[in-house]
């Protein structure tokens, strides 16, 4: 089995306090739904986030199980996600990366036949840790020895037997390296979704609506 941990952490300050994962990108979808839709070829997907309210909102929108970080930081999210998966091999990806390419992901998974992880690297040494793959059991073992103060996801890959894959090797599947694109600001959002990007104000209203729906859903559940 192959699965994915989608990291849906804090809100983007460059969106004026609006949660970017709830931006409307067109066709009735939010950014997080666009990302999830790109992962439908995998056997299982879980989302990890930082608050219960946010988990309820994302779960309501996507229909996927959504869990809280084991501890603050990206590694806390990875740790939590791995605990809730059964898959032998796992993709770790950001919830703001809507151009995920299946061929690229499967190419990275192919390295797990000989390695414990695989991460794309650029000629300048920059890596793409939130577009990497790893063996779930081995990664969980390493995380259990690292403590909770570590914040950089690179620290995990450096402790695994990792294939550092030059981006040039994957350009045959993704010539422009678009799958690395993450929506970090409004300009990028408008570039990726030029015909359908919704303004932050509309996203704020959308989030309020989805939040009300999530609260209504949870308030109707029996209390234990």
pLDDT of 205 higher than 70: no
Measured in whole angstroms, the distance separating CA 175 from the mean position of its chain's CA atoms is 22
Written as one string, the DSSP assignment of 180-215 is: G----SHHHHHHHSTTTPPPHHHHHHHHHHHHHHHH
Residues of the chain with pLDDT > 70, as a percent, come to: 82
d(CA 120, CA 133): 10
Encode pLDDT of 47-72 as tens digits.
Answer: 999 889 889 999 998 999 999 988 88
pLDDT of 182 higher than 90: no
Q: Which pLDDT score is estimated for 198?
A: 57
Q: CATH for 2-204, among 3.40.50.880, 3.30.2010.10, 3.90.550.10, 3.40.50.620?
A: 3.90.550.10
What's the rounded mean pLDDT across residues 112-118? 97
Encode pLDDT of 79-103 as tens digits.
Answer: 999 999 999 999 999 999 999 999 9
Q: Which pLDDT score is estimated for 208?
A: 43
Q: Is 1 or 211 the better-scoring residue by pLDDT? A: 1
d(CA 128, CA 114): 20
Residues 6+ apart with CB under 8 A from 156: 75, 78, 117, 134, 139, 142, 143, 146, 150
Which residue in 101, 11, 23 sits closest to 61, CA to CA?
23
Q: Which pLDDT score is estimated for 10?
A: 62
Q: How many CB atoms lie within 10 A of CB 28?
A: 8
Q: Measured at the alpha carbon of residue 196, what is the angle toward residues 194 and 198, in degrees to the nearest 5?
A: 105
* pLDDT confidence bin for 194, thresholds 50/70/90: confident
């Amino acid at each position: 089995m192959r699965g994915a941990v989608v990291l849906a952490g804090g809100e983007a300050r460059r969106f004026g306090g609006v949660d970017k994962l709830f931006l409307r990108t067109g066709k009735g979808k939010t950014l997080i739904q666009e990302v999830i839709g790109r992962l439908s070829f995998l056997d299982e997907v879980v989302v990890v986030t930082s608050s219960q309210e946010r988990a309820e909102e994302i779960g309501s929108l996507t229909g996927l199980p959504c869990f809280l970080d084991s501890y603050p930081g990206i590694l806390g999210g990875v740790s939590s996600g791995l605990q809730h998966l059964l898959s032998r091999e796992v993709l770790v990806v950001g919830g703001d990366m809507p151009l995920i390419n299946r061929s690229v992901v499967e190419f990275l998974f192919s390295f797990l036949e000989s390695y414990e992880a695989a991460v794309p690297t650029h000629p300048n040494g920059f890596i793409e840790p939130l577009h990497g793959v790893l063996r779930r059991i081995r990664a969980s073992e390493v995380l259990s020895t690292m403590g909770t103060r570590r914040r950089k996801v690179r620290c995990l890959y450096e402790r695994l037997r990792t294939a550092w894959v030059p981006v040039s090797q994957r350009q045959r599947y993704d010539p422009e390296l678009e799958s690395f694109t993450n929506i970090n600001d409004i300009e990028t959002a408008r570039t990726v979704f030029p015909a359908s990007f919704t303004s932050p104000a509309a996203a704020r209203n959308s989030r309020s609506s989805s939040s009300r729906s999530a609260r209504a859903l949870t308030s109707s559940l029996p209390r234990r």
